[in-house]
């Protein structure tokens, strides 16, 4: 029978996230009392290939931003490779407006560790590294304690998973980043893990073939791995009973999703919803509506790199089809930032370009130089010192840089240009009102 109610947050306290008076973290004993690590025990009774097939059949898609099928990614590992393999856990939650993984790390770190253990067993990965955002100081301490408990209880270490219940051994380590947004990109993350500058790598080769230290590596997001124990526990059919099918003949959006809502709403926070929930329902029913009774104007669908929704797209379905249906880059992290009717979208665009200019690693010329040029243009437009041709130049510049035009190694430039293009195209009137009219020569009659 399908389990009713929240999935990922069923073991997490229901009090408001971030309340310092009620804040506490669930440790090992609490987690076990609520059914924790039973999924790992069940997984160890099955063949690793069966677990991979379960995750693949469930159509679980990555919760970190790209939405790539998790089980399919696992199958990219070389079949005949007998050497060292790695799992890199992406906990570098640096996308502005995104704080869903932080909730898991704060309150239920063992849920992540169980997902890591099952995934390593399924894919025959001997070592896992959790790469955590540099600014997550408190969360790093929580994870360090949870990992120590997992070693003490035999989840990880030299005796095999669950102290000899399996001969397969897994080690797990925490690696703290230094606060670079670009290290959220999977190959930039690998470079940082290796102690190098966090520059994204050219692909191919892909990490599943040649990743961390040149060995086959799987890279998964925190929330993605937290879904794995529940798929093992309740089965594929149960997971597929949550979420929604694709409405445009694309891959489905099954399962629930943690959605961190911020901006001009009455109750900002993290909410677990079925994929496919309309944005308007998320705001009105979960977040208590728009703040101060204002009207909805726009929203960043899931991290600023995804672009924005227009005023008439308030009912957009929060699933992986949102990109093709509503002219944004994609669902991203599904953590929307909501803007009310008084928001200056020109200022929003300028602030976004400033962020990407600062976070560009500088490896690719179009991104390094183009991001700076876009920011300068936006500052000129915001100040009312630009002309109409500057607005056209901004759009031309945005459309000529990025991994999709084939001019950069990673997608940071794509995030920049999609954000700018969607804001300008959907709110062009606000930009045109800020630019100076082009000079028109006056013809003086003769005679």
Contact between 172 and 146 (Cβ < 8 Å): no
| Local confidence band at 2 (pLDDT 50, 70, 90 cut-offs) | very low
Cis peptide before 330 (omega within 30 of 0): no
| Predicted TM-score (pTM) above 0.75 | yes
* Cβ-based neighbours of 8, under 8 Å, separated by 6 or more: 104, 111, 223, 226, 227, 230, 256, 258, 272
Nearest CA-CA partner of 339 in 307, 281, 296, 301: 296
- Tokens 């090992």, residue? 28
**CA dist., res. 19 & res. 11, Å (int):** 17
Report helix, strand or coil for 47: coil
Residue 243, both tokens? 């979420």
- Alpha carbons 257 and 255: distance in angstroms, whole number: 7
Residue 230 has pLDDT above 80, yes or no: yes
Lowest mean pLDDT among 20-24, 29-33, 193-197: 20-24
Instruction: Return the pLDDT at 80.
Output: 83
pLDDT band (50, 70, 90) for residue 287 = very high
Please state, in angstroms and rounded to a whole number, the distance separating the CA atoms of residues 101 and 75. 25
The fold of the 28-241 domain, in CATH, is Rossmann fold (3.40.50)
Q: What is the mean pLDDT of residues 257-283?
A: 95
**pLDDT tens across 333-357, in order?**
999 999 999 999 999 999 999 999 9
| 60-94 per-position pLDDT tens digit | 999 988 889 999 999 999 988 888 999 999 999 99
Sequence spans of domains, the chain: 28-241, 253-340, 345-432
Query: pLDDT value at position 405?
Result: 83
3-class secondary-structure state, position 396? helix
- Choose the weakest-confidence range: 245-254, 271-280, 335-344: 245-254
Share of residues in the chain with pLDDT > 70 (%): 92
Pick the CATH number of 253-340 from 3.30.2320.50, 3.40.390.10, 3.10.20.600, 3.10.20.740: 3.10.20.600
**Distance from C-alpha of 197 to C-alpha of 183, rounded to nearest angstrom:** 9
d(CA 382, CA 348): 10
| Greatest CA separation for the chain | 104
Asked if 259 and 100 count as a contact pair (C-beta separation under 8 A), the reply is yes
Predicted pLDDT at 15: 36
Q: What pLDDT, on a 0 to 100 scale, did the predictor assign at position 72?
A: 94
Among 4-8, 117-121, 172-176, 210-214, name the one with the lowest average pLDDT.
Answer: 4-8
Which of 304, 352, 351, 292 has its CA nearest to residue 330? 304
- Decide if pLDDT at 205 tops 50: yes
In angstroms, rounded to a whole number, what is the distance separating the alpha carbons of residues 41 and 126? Answer: 18
| Percentage, residues of the chain above pLDDT 90 | 74
- pLDDT tens digits for range 144-175: 999 999 999 999 998 888 877 788 999 999 99
Token code pair at residue 172: 């797990």
pLDDT mean over 132-153: 93
Q: Which fold has domain 345-432?
A: de novo design (two linked rop proteins) (1.20.1440)
> How many angstroms separate the Cα of 182 from the Cα of each of 48, 192, 203, 329, 358?
33, 10, 16, 18, 10
Mean pLDDT of the chain, nearest integer: 89
For range 284-297, the mean pLDDT: 95
User: Measured between alpha carbons, how far is residue 427 from residues 62, 351, 422, 435 in Å?
Assistant: 31, 16, 8, 14
Task: Determine the pLDDT at residue 57.
Answer: 95
What DSSP string describes 280-323? HHIIIIIS-SBGGGPPEEEEESSSGGG-EE-GGGTT-B-STTHH
Segment 372-395 shows an average pLDDT of 91
Cα gap 361→282, rounded to integer Å: 35
CB atoms within 10 A of CB 424: 22
The arithmetic mean of pLDDT across residues 242-269, rounded, is 92
């Amino acid at each position: 029978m399908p389990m009713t109610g929240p999935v990922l947050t069923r073991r997490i306290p229901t009090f408001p996230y971030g309340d310092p008076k009620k804040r506490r973290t669930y440790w090992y004993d609490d987690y076990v009392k609520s059914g924790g690590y039973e999924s790992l025990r069940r997984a160890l009774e099955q063949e690793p290939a069966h677990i991979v097939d379960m995750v693949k059949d469930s159509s679980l898609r990555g919760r970190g931003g790209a939405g790539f099928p998790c089980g399919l990614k696992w199958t990219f590992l070389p079949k005949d490779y007998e050497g060292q393999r790695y799992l890199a856990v992406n906990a570098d939650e640096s996308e502005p407006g995104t704080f869903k993984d932080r909730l898991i790390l704060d309150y239920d770190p063992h849920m992540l560790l169980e997902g890591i253990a099952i995934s390593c067993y399924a894919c025959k990965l001997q070592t896992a590294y959790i790469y955590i955002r540099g600014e997550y100081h408190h969360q790093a301490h929580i994870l360090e304690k949870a990992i120590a408990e997992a070693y003490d209880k035999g989840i990880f270490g030299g005796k095999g998973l669950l102290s000899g219940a399996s001969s397969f051994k897994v080690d797990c380590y925490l690696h703290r980043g230094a606060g670079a947004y670009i290290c959220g990109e999977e190959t930039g993350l690998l470079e940082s893990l290796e102690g190098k500058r966090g520059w994204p790598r050219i692909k191919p080769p892909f990490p599943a073939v040649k990743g961390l230290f040149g060995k086959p590596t799987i890279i998964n997001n925190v929330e993605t791995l937290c879904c794995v124990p529940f798929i093992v526990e309740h089965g594929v059919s149960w997971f597929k009973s949550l979420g929604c099918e694709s409405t445009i003949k694309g891959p489905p959006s099954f399962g629930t999703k943690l959605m961190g809502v911020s901006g001009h709403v009455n109750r900002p926070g993290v909410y677990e919803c079925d994929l496919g929930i309309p944005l308007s329902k998320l705001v009105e029913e979960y977040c208590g509506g728009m703040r101060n009774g204002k009207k909805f104007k726009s929203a960043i669908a899931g991290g600023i790199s995804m672009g924005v929704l227009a005023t008439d797209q308030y009912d957009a379905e929060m699933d992986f089809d949102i990109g093709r249906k509503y002219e944004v880059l994609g669902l991203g992290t599904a953590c929307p930032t909501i803007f009310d009717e008084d928001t200056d979208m020109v200022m929003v665009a300028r602030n976004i370009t400033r962020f990407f200019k600062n976070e560009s690693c500088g490896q690719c010329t179009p991104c390094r130089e183009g991001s700076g040029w876009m920011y300068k243009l936006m500052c000129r437009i915001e100040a009312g010192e630009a002309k109409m041709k500057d607005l056209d130049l901004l759009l031309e510049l945005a459309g000529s840089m990025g991994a999709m035009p084939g001019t950069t190694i990673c997608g940071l430039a794509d995030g920049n240009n999609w954000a700018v293009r969607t804001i300008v195209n959907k709110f062009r009137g606000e930009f045109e009102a800020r630019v100076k009219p082009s000079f028109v020569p006056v013809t003086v009659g003769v005679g």
